[in-house]
Structure 1
Amino acid sequence: MLAYVLKRLLLMVPTLLGVLLITFAVVQFVPGGPVEQYLAEARAGTGGGSAEGGGFSYRGGQGVDPKRIEQIKALYGFDKPAHERFFQMLGQFARFDLGKSFFQNKPVSQLIIEKLPVSISLGLWTFFISYLVAVPLGVAKAVRAGSRFDLLTTLLVLVGYAIPGFVLGVVLLVVFGGQLQWFPLRGLTSGNWDELSWGARIVDYLWHITLPVTAMVLGSFAVTAMLTKNAFLEEIRKQYVVTARAKGLGERQVLWKHVFRNALIPIITGFPAAFIGAFFTGSLLIETLFSLDGLGLLSYESVIRRDYPVVLGTLYLFTLIGLVTKLISDLCYVWVDPRVKFD
C-alpha cells in the first residue's frame, strides 16, 4: 500500500507539469493579451491594471511608442523569455504562491477565497440533495426492477439528465422568477441581508438558492441513481443472497444488512471526488444565469480578460486537488472492501 501511494504521489508531478506546460504554451498564441487590453483601455481613457508575471507574448501595439510598449511589457513581466517566465511560475507554484491578478490587483488565492462561498453553496446543496434522492431511488428501482415504477422513474431520470441545467434554469427563471415572482431573479442574498435576524437570513438564503440548486440537481443524480440500481441488481443475483434467503432471513434484513453494504461500494468510493468537487465545480452557466459570483464566473472572466495569473493559478490548484482526491477515492476501495489489493 505504501509503495502504491508513493508511486501515485510521484506520478502527480509530471501530470501537473504537463497540464501547466500545455496551458502555458497555448496562451502564447492567444491574441488580445493583457498588454493589448491595457493599451486599448489607455486609448479609451479608462486606464489599465498593474501586476507582475504572466504567460503571454505581446505581438501588437502598432502606432504606439515602442518605449511605452516595452514599459508595459515589463510591468506585466512579458519582457522575459517564455521559458524563463514558465520556470519562474513553477517556482512560485512550488511555494503555493498562485500569483497576483493583472486586473483586480489581488492575490489569486484571495480571489479564490472570496468566490468560494458561492460555489460551496451550490456544490454542497447539489451534492447532498443528489445523493439523498439518487441512492433511495436506485434501491427502490432495483427492488422493483421491470415494474411500471421502474420504467416511469427511468424515463423521468433520463429526461432530467438530457435537459441541460442552464436550459432548465432559464425555464425556472421565466416561470417562477418572472411570471409568478415566487423567487428572486439574481444573487445569493437580499440587499438588506445585514439588517435581517438569523432566522430571516436563513429563510432569505434558502429562498435565493432554490432555483439554481434545482437547475443543477435535476440532471446530476441520474448517473448515481442508475449506478445504485445496477449495483443492487448485481448483488441481489449473487449466491450469498440466495443462501441468506434460504436460511429464513426476511427480505428487508437481506436487503439492508447484506446487499446494501456490498452494493454501495462503488457509490461510497465516489464520495471523496464528489464531495471535494462540490467546492470547485460550480456551474459557469448557472452562476452567470443567476448572477452568482462564484469560481465558475471567476474562471470565465479571467479567460475573457486574459488574466493569466488567475487562469494558471486556479488551474494548478484545481488540478492538484483533483489528483489528490482521485488517490483518496482509490484508497477508499481498500477501506470499504479489504479484499481489494492494488498489487
Structure 2
Amino acid sequence: MKDTAISVLQILEKSPGPVSGERIAEQLGITRSAVWKQVRELRRLGYGISSSRAEGYHLEATTDQLLPYEIQKRLRTRVIGKQIRHFERTASTSWIAKKLADETDPALLHGMVIIAEEQTGGVGRLGRAWVSPAGGIWATIILKPKIPLDHLFMITMVGSIAIARAIRKEYGISALIKWPNDIFIGDKKVAGLLLELAAEADNVHYGLLGVGIDANIALDELSPLLQETVTSLEAEVGRPVDRVALLARVLWEFELRYQQLEDGEYDSIIREWKSLSLTLDRRVAIKTINKTFVGEAIDIDEHGALIIRKDNGKVERVIAGDCFQL
C-alpha cells in the first residue's frame, strides 16, 4: 500500500463521520482526483468505504487482508515484524525470503516477515506440497541467528510454542504441539512450521522460519483426504477469525521466546514445549528413512530428539521422521 493511500486511510480512520474529498485533498496537498484514485485502491484492498456527493467518504469496514499497515498497528514487538512485505499471491514466501537473504546482508533483514494471501507452490517438510489457499496465514520470518549451532533446532520449538500459545490466548482453544513441528486441535492439524538454514561450516548465514496457519480456509474446498486430517480456526471457533490480530499475537509470542533462546534459556523453552506436547506420554508410530516402529513417546532430549520406549522395552532416539498418534 502506497504512502498516499495510507495517509487517506488515516484521515478516514480518525474521522467519526464522512470526510469530503476536498478536505482530504487540502490536508494532503493532492488533487481530488488523486484522492479518488487512492480510495479506489483502498477498496481494492478490501476496505469498506462508502461515498456520497453530499457528505464525502466514510470508512465503514477495515480489510481482512494481512497488510503491513494493519499488522504493525497491533504489533508489540521490538524486532520481529518491524519489516513486512506483503503479496496477494506468490509461489512461496520462503522463495522470496531466500532471494532477499541471498542478495542482501541478512543482518539487515533480521525479523522481516514475508506474507502471502495465497501460495501456489507452498512446501512443507521433506519437500511435500503445502496447500495454501486464500484465508490462511502463510508467512516466512527471516532470521540472522545469534544462537549456537547445536541449539538452532530450537527455533522451530519456539515457533511451535508461539502459535499454540497465540491460539490458546486468542480463542481459548487447547492447541497442542505434535512432534516435530505441527500444531493440532484435537486430532486434526491446524498449523505447521518449517525451518531452513543457509550455513557454511560453523557460520550460519541466515534462517528462514516458514509458518502456515489454517485460519479462515474453506475446509469443503480441500480434498477429501485433507478434510480427514486438517481443521481451521474458523471451523473450530464457529466464525471467521481476525487474522491480523492472530498474526500480530504469534509474532509477539515468538519474539518473547526467541529472546529467551538467544539468552541461552534452553531449559525453560523445553519445559514449555513439553507442557504443550500432544506427543509425549502417548503411543505413537514412527517412520524414518530406514525403518518403522511403534512405542511410547516418553521424552525429548536437549537436542530435540524424540525418545521412544519400544514395545520390546528398548529405548530409541529419533532425530527426524514422521510421528503418528495411535
TM-score (norm 2): 0.20
Name the larger-Rg structure: 1
Bigger proportion of residues as strand: 2
**Structure possessing the higher relative contact order (Cα contacts under 8 Å, 6 or more residues apart):** 1
TM-score (norm 1): 0.19
